Amino acid sequence: MQYHENVERLLLITFGPLVIAAVLLVIITGIRNVIVTMRSRPSSEQLKAARKAYLDRLLSPQAAAVERQLGKLLPQRLLELYEDTSTIQSGGFKLEKPGKKRWRPERWPVYCFEPLDTEALTEWQYEHELGPGFCFATTGQGCWYWIAASDQRAIDSPVIFLDYDSGRSHGERIADSLDEFLSWQRLPS
């Protein structure tokens, strides 16, 4: 009995301060992470300013500048999309692809439309397998809807899904034209 009590005291003396230090480290790290998270969260003024900047870009399409940077022409239907201010300001919906009845309908989420400007091209101007084009909308989950640019102005062009998230649908042609894509039934997200 005496032996066990001595071992317990020795362990407490030896490891007690280490346990206390580890607990304090965990508590301090947790408090620090909460503070960093709170400080890095944008204020309501910053969110309003970002929203305004996005809308200003969205409502001021720069097709000629985008085409110069691409060295190709965008389809006429895409240019018409950006003239329809109510459509390009919409978002947060899913488009349901019509066709054969399936047990699970084919739905394509649209989080928002992208501004038609050179800033939007900084990361997406060239899909290596597909050539020059423009990502006109996003799912908000690392995936984009892309349309090709060409040497001659096309009336319309197929919509390609770029899946940078899981890659399963990357490069899949989901609609034969932008007009077809935009005509699908809209459902809330």
Q: What is the pLDDT along the chain (189 residues), one digit of tens a residue?
A: 666 666 666 666 776 676 676 666 777 777 777 666 666 777 889 889 989 999 999 999 999 999 999 999 999 999 999 999 999 999 999 999 987 666 677 899 999 999 999 998 876 645 667 889 999 999 988 889 999 999 999 999 999 998 876 666 778 899 999 999 999 999 998
In a 10 Å sphere around its CB, with 0-12 CB exposed, 13-18 middle and 19+ buried, how is residue 50 labelled?
A: exposed
Counting DSSP H helices and E strands in the chain, the numbers are 7, 9
What is the predicted pLDDT for the residue at 104? 74
The C-alpha atoms of residue 55 and residue 52 are separated, in whole angstroms, by 5
Taking the C-alpha atoms of residue 64 and residue 22, their distance in angstroms, rounded to an integer, is: 60
Cβ atoms < 10 Å from Cβ of 70: 20
Task: Check residue 76 and give its pLDDT.
Answer: 98
Q: What is the pLDDT of residue 128?
A: 66
What pLDDT was estimated at residue 41?
76
Distance CA 147, CA 110 (A): 15
Count CA within 13 A, CB hemisphere, residue 43: 3
Question: How far is residue 149 CA from its own chain's centroid?
Answer: 22
State the pLDDT at residue 11.
Answer: 60
> 90 by DSSP, 3-state: which?
coil
Question: Looking at residue 96, what is its pLDDT?
Answer: 92
pLDDT for the residue numbered 125: 46
